[in-house]
Amino acid sequence: MRICSLLPSASEIIAELGHADSLVGVSDECRWPAEVVGKPVVTAARIDPSALSSREIDEAVRASLAEAGSLYAVDSSLIEELQPDLIVTQDLCAVCAVSSGDLASAYPLDVEVISLDPRTLAGVAETIGVLARRLGTPVRGEALADEMNAKIRAVAEAVRGLEPRRVFFAEWLDPPFCAGHWIPEMIVLAGGEDVLGRAGEPSHTTTWGAVLEQQPELVILAPCGFDAGEAARRAAGLRFPCPAIAVDGNGYYSCPGPRLADGVRQLGHLFHPEAVEDVGLCAIELTVTGFAH
């Protein structure tokens, strides 16, 4: 089978299921695992965030959605040349990847399309099963989902009965976005209490003043699309009245794949280091000198 994956999490799952060789095209943001790097790129964002501030990226994304109806450009000629049997995309978030509607407009040929739209951790596990069954490896899919769930359960058991840490989890910095979909669930399972995010609901904008009013004990900085180092760099102008830690949002939080389990493990250690072992993911603590933005 020849597959084009327009979704980083789908590319990750497909590779983990042992079908990396079936991927003939990916999005520009599909960079994990190593087997997917170097595949033909069939879709990419219309903006380059590297030279833009967080505020400028937010404004550019909103403008692109208003003007073009989509943040992403699809190389329909390349897709036609690659002749996929299956295209995997999503309809959950217009900012995260190409939607099935965008794809139908750009590439109206008769190709099977699977849209993966998990909103919870259980939904993420189900997407693993959906792809595994479609690719003929259901047993491997069950094992991969079970492995993810077992890691998460182990953290939940380790923090059971401990006082939850009050946490604000920032999916974007300027303007700040609270956590959405599966991330508030991850926080609770790791022994925290999300002060603004709601499990299963989309992330939404807030203000740093509103965050301060909630009196979080810890701020986690995980802007979508960036690793811990870039998150820390972009947050350098912020000051917090409590510990603030930058983590790899792109790899372990915003991408709904098996690595979410390692995100839960990292959160468990950050919230309750006496109960949960450090999984070894990058975490950068920022300066705490009062609250300002």
In a domain, 152, yes or no: no
With a cut of 70, list the residues of the chain below it in pLDDT: 64-70, 92-109, 287-293
The confidence score (pLDDT) of residue 192 equals 98
Is residue 182 within 8 Å of 121, Cβ to Cβ?
yes
Q: Is residue 146 part of a domain?
A: no
Q: Is residue 219 part of a domain?
A: yes
249 and 183: one domain? Answer: yes
Residues 172 and 263 in one domain: yes
73 with 199, same domain? no
How many domains in the chain?
Answer: 2
Residue 226: inside a domain, yes or no?
yes
- What is the structure's pLDDT at 291? 47
**Domain finish residue from 140, 175, 198:** 140
The predicted structure's pLDDT at residue 70: 67
Does residue 236 lie in a domain region?
Answer: yes
Are 106 and 222 in a shared domain?
A: no
Give the domain CATH number at 249: 3.40.50.1980
Instruction: Please tell me the predicted confidence (pLDDT) of residue 293.
Output: 46
Does one domain contain both 17 and 136? yes
Please indicate, yes or no, whether residues 105 and 16 belong to a single structural domain of this protein. yes
**Total residue length of the chain:** 293
Contact indicator for 279, 265 with CB cutoff of 8 Å = yes
Same domain, 211 and 253: yes
Question: 193 and 127 in one domain?
Answer: no
Task: Check whether residue 111 and residue 239 sit in a common domain.
Answer: no
Task: Indicate whether 145 belongs to any domain.
Answer: no
- Given a contact cutoff of 8 angstroms between Cβ atoms, the answer to whether 186 and 263 are in contact is yes
199 occurs within a structural domain: yes
Nearest to 270 by CA among 159, 120, 127: 159
pTM above 0.95, yes or no: no
pLDDT at 160: 98
Does 93 share its domain with 48?
yes
pLDDT of residue 57: 87
DSSP string, 30-73: ---SGGGTTSPEEEEESS-GGGS-HHHHHHHHHHHHHHHS-SEE
Q: What is the CA 290 to chain-centroid distance, rounded? A: 29
Answer yes or no: do 17 and 66 share one domain: yes
- Report yes or no on 150 lying in a domain: no
Enclosing domain of residue 241: 164-285
Domain end residue (candidates: 124, 140, 156): 140
Residues 189 and 276 in one domain: yes
